[in-house]
């Protein structure tokens, strides 16, 4: 059996497991997105859109070099941000999801809250 690595997803404190052969995103899609109240995954899988960007708090990944520097700037990469769609885990990991800010959904949310 392949060695199972543990990935802890903050700030939810949820743990998922996977192998070095998979990308972090593939692991998250099987065990995290769309479960326990998490929305389903909605990114490009291709290193272009930054939807999958997280902060790597602990552990090592093998990060593919072909990805958009708009999605992940070199300075961010140096500060241990990664695109999960472009990363394979080399060890147990702790990652932290980032706040997303999107003006249209904010507007819609504000409206639906005032109506309720």
Partner 1 sequence: MGEGIMRLGFVVVQVTDLEAARKHYVEVMGLQMTDRTENEIYLKGWDEYDHHSIVLRQSNKAGLEKMAFKVHTYEDMEQLEKQLQRYGASVKRVSKGENYKVGEGLRFRLPSGHTMELFVDMEYEGKALPQVNPAPWPEGLIGVGAPRIDHLLITAERPHETVDFLMKALNFYMSEKVVENERSETPIAAWLFRSYTPHDIAIIPGKDERLHHFAFWLDEFNELRKAGDVFSKHDVPIDVGIERHGITRGQTIYYFDPAGNRNEVFTGGYIAYPDMPVVKWTVDQLARGIFYFNHRQEWIEGFTGVTT
Query: Among partner 1, ligand FES, none, what binds residue 96 when CB lies within 5 to 8 Å by partner kind?
Result: none
Indicate the residue among 2 and 78 with the shorter CB distance to ligand FES: 78
Using CB under 6 A, list all residues that contact ligand FES.
Answer: 43-52, 71, 83, 85
What is the per-residue burial (b if ≥16 Cβ within 10 Å, else e) of 67-100? beeebbeeebeeeebbbbbbbbbeeebbbebeee
Token pair recorded at residue 6: 């543990």
Indicate the residue among 18 and 47 with the shorter CB distance to ligand FES: 47
Using CB under 8 A, list all residues that contact partner 1.
Answer: 39-51, 66-71, 100-105, 107-112, 115
Query: Among ligand FES, partner 1, none, what binds residue 80 when CB lies within 5 to 8 Å by partner kind?
Result: none
Query: Among ligand FES, partner 1, none, what binds residue 32 when CB lies within 5 to 8 Å by partner kind?
Result: none
Beta bridge partners of 66: none
Beta bridge partners of 16: 7
d(CA 89, CA 92): 7
């Amino acid at each position: 059996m392949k060695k199972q690595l543990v990935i802890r997803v903050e700030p939810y404190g949820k743990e998922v497991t996977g192998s070095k052969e998979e990308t972090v995103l593939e692991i998250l899609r099987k065990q995290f997105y769309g479960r326990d109240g998490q929305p389903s995954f909605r990114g490009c899988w291709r290193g272009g859109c930054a939807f999958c960007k997280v902060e790597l708090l602990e552990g090592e990944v093998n990060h593919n070099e072909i990805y958009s520097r708009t999605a992940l700037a070199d300075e961010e990469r140096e500060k241990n941000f990664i695109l999960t769609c472009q990363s394979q885990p080399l060890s147990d990991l702790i990652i932290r999801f980032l706040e997303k800010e999107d003006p249209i959904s904010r507007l819609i949310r504000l409206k639906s809250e005032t109506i309720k």
